Amino acid sequence: MNESLKRGLRLGLIFGIVFIFFMLIGFTNVAATMIGDILGNVDQASVNPQLPVLNLITFTGLMGFFTGIAAYKKDANPSWVQVLIVGLIAGLAAALLVVGFILLIGSLNAQGVDFRTYLPNLGANEIQYLIFYTTPLAAAQRYILFIILFSIIGSLIVKLFSPGSPVNIALNSLKKNTINKLDVETLKSALKNRFVLIGLLVVVAVLMYFLPFVWGSYWNYIMGTVAIYILLGLGLNIIVGYSGQLVLGYVAFFAIGAYTFALLTAPQPHAIEMNLWLAMLIAVLVSTIAGLLIGLPILNLRGDYLAIVTLGFGEIVRILIRSDLLTALTNGPKGVTNVGQPFWRGQLFTDTNYMHLLMLLVLAGLFVAKRLKDSRTGRAWISIREDQTVAQATGVNTFRYKILALLLGAAFAGLAGALFASRNQFTGPEDFTLMVSVNVLCVVIVGGMGSLPGVVLGAFVLKGLPELLRELSDYRLFAFGALLVVMMIVRPNGLWPVSRPKFIKAPPEDCQDEPVEVKV
Amino acid sequence: MTRTAIHIQNVTKRFGGLTAVDEVNLDISEHSISSIIGPNGAGKTTLFNCVTGFYAPEEGEIQFFDKPVQGLPTHKICDMGIARTYQNIRLFKEMTAVENILVGQHTRMHSMWVESVLHNPRYLKEESTAIAKAFELLEFVGLLDLADTPAFNLPYGAQRRLELARALASDPLVLMLDEPTAGMNPQETAEMMAFIKELRDSKNITIILIEHDMRVVMGVSEKIAVLDYGRKIAEGDPTEIQSNQRVIEAYLGPSMDGIINRKKRKKPDYA
């Protein structure tokens, strides 16, 4: 009991500090506005102080709620009364801190102290909002009430769902029944059925065809970016995820692909204006050759050394592109404009067309990456990742396979680069900063090293989610960073870790019809 | 007439000032089981590493069925037909047992990456043959029920056997086992001994082992070479080695007579 109380107190204090921190950086106000957007109500108390400041109260309640949830000690299995007390203690601790802060800034504000010199997010208006447009004392009462109330509710709700409670038992029996009825095995065997599979594929295909029409050009742009990052991620996944070579200058191949395509198709500075598809092919080839040229001298390096050398390579390419030396060739810092766009039925590609093309290429990329992974080549790569020395002594020509991984990875990047340049109709050196390499590496790591669904998921989380978080404006990166940290703690192997393939022992020659399945 | 599988002539390997292997001569004949023994630090593993291409010896020559191998990269040597296991088990930990053996077969497979993307008939046939062979090997080493277990999850003994299976997967002519019974209990050791003998008879390959367990060494070897301070101090069949004065000295320290006779000899650090 003593332990749980201590825990409640500690977490209450932590949440109190976090809440104060949110107020200091102005996040509380932004979050309240967001809640308002979601719930569809606007805090109009500034117009009429009699109206409750609902959104802020909701946010306060949420904070209290989380305090209560966190304070509940799962393994202790406390009684209902104990839970009540712990929630109360945690809420009280958090509330006292917050109230102290509110009273302080409220009264100082009333005396006309301007915080904005040091805390730009804590102007008089914001403070008025934080004290619900009333007196600090009245606001303090509300904070105490809501934080403690919701903290207790939070604790009680965890208790409600914890093992042994009636709700939990009911849920479990429900789960058992439904899962038994669904029967995972039947589902799996149904998926193996050819007709079911084809039907499913048709549904997905139809969805993929119509979605770009439905969700509009803004989402086509965002999803296009996600698709380009999936392609990049697939390529880097071959290099880092499969063969285990930490290449940090991956953006170089992306840049080379984009610039090759742009220079071959734009009217300026070379006026080649080649056939688009041919240019795309050449862009892929040039990236691949760049991969070979880079790989040959450096792939004998291992681990950290390789990372540093490739890091340098990525920057060298960007700086060369924008240098005076190559201005005649690359147009320097101005970049290349009017990059060629493909035609479809005599008309310029629309955003929908691009989306379709990108989807197709992503599918093709996934197909290639998947088949490579489960082959002699893929196994050779993974063995290199696991233990390069032994892999070589087991007969794998490690150098050749590392080069191959780099070439294929570079080809993916080249393709992504060409599409990127074409879709944006522009390409400039600042599109290819180190951050691109880091982002792609994050896509691979967050998704799960070597995992293909992981790459897709990672690209959505890293490129799609920031767009969804656009509402948070200034706090977007903050929220995003926090999310990444939490995710890596909760799922250190990535969102969708790789699973090793299962092999089925081939039947003896005389009884072909009954394959023996080998179970673990 | 039996051919010489491995011919080691005047091989010397130095690490800075330390001469780990010092002018060793050794001939291993085909289809034999030979052991290399010696106190810790005698240069046994270094000699293994020279033969399998991990180290290039400074001097001397190593021939594998009359073809020189010194200086070749390890994957070429593996391709020629020398496979090995390691003193401290080195499996591909994240890969399953089957996959480890499939990697072992790498050098005997030929499909290119393009074929694996296209899934052409040759690739599919090779792949299914390889998987069938992998299961055969798993059965041979008794790991069939652990086929899909990642290597790091296997029990110790199973890891040793899987490493053996991986080495066998490349269809070697010579198999070099570095302390195959290290860390095993007497029962497992006996099984391993029987297994090594069966291996030689059924697969008809040449086996060289490094081993500290004298029951294993005396039980399975037809020929024993003893190294001490990088030098080969004795060679012969088990009975000869057991009665060899220099071998006894190397292991137990010199007798009083020996100390008087050979004062210059350094004091062995293992004593």
At A377-427, the pLDDT tens digits run: 999 999 999 999 999 999 999 999 999 999 999 999 999 999 999 999 899
Average pLDDT of the residues in A52-65: 77
What is the model's pLDDT at position B271? 43
Q: Inform me whether the pLDDT recorded for A178 exceeds 80.
A: no
Place of tokens 């029987």: B194
What is the model's pLDDT at position B63? 93
Number of separate helices (H) and strands (E) present in chain B: 11, 10
B169 token code pair: 């997967």
Please report residues of A whose CB lies closer than 8 A to that of B145.
Answer: 518-519
**Residue A126 sits in the same domain as residue A242:** no
Domain limits for position A294:
218-467
Centre a 10 Å sphere on the Cβ of residue A270 and count the other Cβ atoms it contains. Answer: 17
| DSSP assignment string, A82-149 | HHHHHHHHHHHHHHHHHHHHHHHHHHHHHTT---TTT-TT--HHHHHHHTTTS-HHHHHHHHHHHHHH
| A513 belongs to a structural domain | no
Average pLDDT of the residues in A80-97: 86
Q: Inform me whether the pLDDT recorded for A469 exceeds 60.
A: yes
Average pLDDT of the residues in A194-211: 83
Higher-confidence residue: A70 or B106? B106
| A483 belongs to a structural domain | no
Q: How far apart are CA A282 and CA B195, in angstroms?
A: 57
Q: How far apart are CA A401 and CA A245, in angstroms?
A: 11
End position of a domain, from candidates A439, A467, A495: A467
Q: Inform me whether the pLDDT recorded for A483 exceeds 70.
A: yes
Average pLDDT of the residues in A43-55: 58
Q: Name the helix (H) or strand (E) containing A368.
A: helix A351-373
What is the model's pLDDT at position A471? 66
Helices B121-140, B156-168: crossing angle, 10 deg rounding: 130
Go through A67-88 and write b for each residue having 16 or more CB atoms within 10 A of its CB, e for each that does not.
Answer: bbbbbbbeeeebeeebbebbbb
The Cα of A343 is separated from the nearest Cα of chain B by a number of Å equal to: 29
| CA angle B50–B138–B178, rounded 5-degree value | 25
Place of tokens 């447009």: A133
**Residue A132 sits in the same domain as residue A272:** no
Average pLDDT of the residues in A205-233: 87
- Select from A387, A394, A502 the Cβ nearest to the Cβ of B106: A394
End position of a domain, from candidates A449, A467, A485: A467
Structure ipTM: 0.90
**CATH topology for B1-81+173-271?**
Rossmann fold (3.40.50)
Average pLDDT of the residues in A295-310: 88
Asked if the C-beta of A508 comes within 8 angstroms of chain B's C-beta atoms, the answer is no
What is the model's pLDDT at position B102? 95
Residue A22, CA distances (Å) to A18, A62, A89, A95 in order: 6, 13, 22, 14
Centre a 10 Å sphere on the Cβ of residue B214 and count the other Cβ atoms it contains. Answer: 14
Higher-confidence residue: A491 or A423? A423
User: In which band, very low, low, confident or very high, does the pLDDT at A512 lie, cut at 50, 70 and 90?
Assistant: very low
Average pLDDT of the residues in A490-499: 82
Asked if the C-beta of A404 comes within 8 angstroms of chain B's C-beta atoms, the answer is yes
Contact B55, B48 (CB under 8 A): no
B180 token code pair: 């195959």
What is the model's pLDDT at position A412? 96
Higher-confidence residue: B79 or A146? B79
Please report residues of A whose CB lies closer than 8 A to that of B111.
Answer: 375-377
* SS3 call for B101: helix
Please report residues of A whose CB lies closer than 8 A to that of B116.
Answer: 371-372, 374-378
What is the model's pLDDT at position A302? 82
The residues, any chain, with a CB within 8 Å of residue A223's CB and separated by 6 or more, are: A212, A215, A355, A358, A464
% of chain A surpassing 90 pLDDT: 29
B127 and A392: CB-CB below 8 Å? no
Most B CBs within 10 Å, among A373, A412, A503, A516, to test the B interface? A503
Centre a 10 Å sphere on the Cβ of residue A479 and count the other Cβ atoms it contains. Answer: 17
What is the model's pLDDT at position A510? 45
| A347 belongs to a structural domain | yes
Give strand pairing partners of B150.
Answer: B96
Higher-confidence residue: A169 or A449? A449
Q: How far apart are CA A446 and CA A439, in angstroms?
A: 10
The Cα of B186 is separated from the nearest Cα of chain A by a number of Å equal to: 28
A61 token code pair: 């309640």
Q: Inform me whether the pLDDT recorded for A192 exceeds 80.
A: no
Q: Provide the mean pLDDT of chain A.
A: 83
Q: Inform me whether the pLDDT recorded for A517 exceeds 60.
A: no
| A198 belongs to a structural domain | no
* Mean pLDDT lowest among A24-28, A235-239, A455-459, B154-158: A24-28
| A43 belongs to a structural domain | yes
A377 and B170: CB-CB below 8 Å? no
Estimate to the nearest angstrom the gap between the alpha carbon of B253 and the chain centroid.
27
**Residue A254 sits in the same domain as residue A322:** yes
**Residue A170 sits in the same domain as residue A249:** no
Q: Inform me whether the pLDDT recorded for A98 exceeds 80.
A: yes
Q: Inform me whether the pLDDT recorded for A488 exceeds 90.
A: no
Please report residues of A whose CB lies closer than 8 A to that of B149.
Answer: 520
A520 and B73: CB-CB below 8 Å? no
Number of domains observed in the structure of chain A:
2
User: In which band, very low, low, confident or very high, does the pLDDT at A75 lie, cut at 50, 70 and 90?
Assistant: low
Q: How many residues does chain B have?
A: 271
* Mean pLDDT lowest among A50-59, A223-232, A431-440, B78-87: A50-59
Domain with CATH 3.40.50.300 in chain B: 1-81+173-271, 89-171
In the A/B pair of chains, how many CB contacts fall below 8 A?
131
Q: Which CATH superfamily is domain B89-171 in?
A: P-loop containing nucleotide triphosphate hydrolases (3.40.50.300)
| CA angle A60–A63–A66, rounded 5-degree value | 150
Q: How far apart are CA B110 and CA B20, in angstroms?
A: 38
| A51 belongs to a structural domain | yes
User: In which band, very low, low, confident or very high, does the pLDDT at A250 lie, cut at 50, 70 and 90?
Assistant: very high
Q: Inform me whether the pLDDT recorded for A289 exceeds 90.
A: yes
Q: How far apart are CA B99 and CA B105, in angstroms?
A: 10
What is the model's pLDDT at position A69? 79
What is the model's pLDDT at position A74? 66
End position of a domain, from candidates A452, A467, A482: A467
Higher-confidence residue: A344 or A200? A200
**Residue A53 sits in the same domain as residue A167:** yes
Residue B254, CA distances (Å) to B44, B229, B262, B265, B266 in order: 21, 15, 9, 9, 11
Residue A182 has φ and ψ, to the nearest 5°, of -65, -40
Average pLDDT of the residues in A44-51: 53
What is the model's pLDDT at position A380? 95
- What CATH number does residue A459 fall under? 1.10.3470
Q: Inform me whether the pLDDT recorded for A346 exceeds 60.
A: yes
A520 and B148: CB-CB below 8 Å? yes
Higher-confidence residue: A477 or A256? A256
Q: Inform me whether the pLDDT recorded for A463 exceeds 80.
A: yes
Where chain B has pLDDT below 50, the residues are: 271
Q: Please report the residues numbered 358 through 387 in chain A whose beta carbons come closer than 8 angstroms to any beta carbon of chain B.
A: 367-368, 371-372, 374-380, 382-383, 385-387
For A518, the closest chain B residue by CA position comes to: B145
* SS3 call for B94: coil
Residue B234 has φ and ψ, to the nearest 5°, of -160, 160
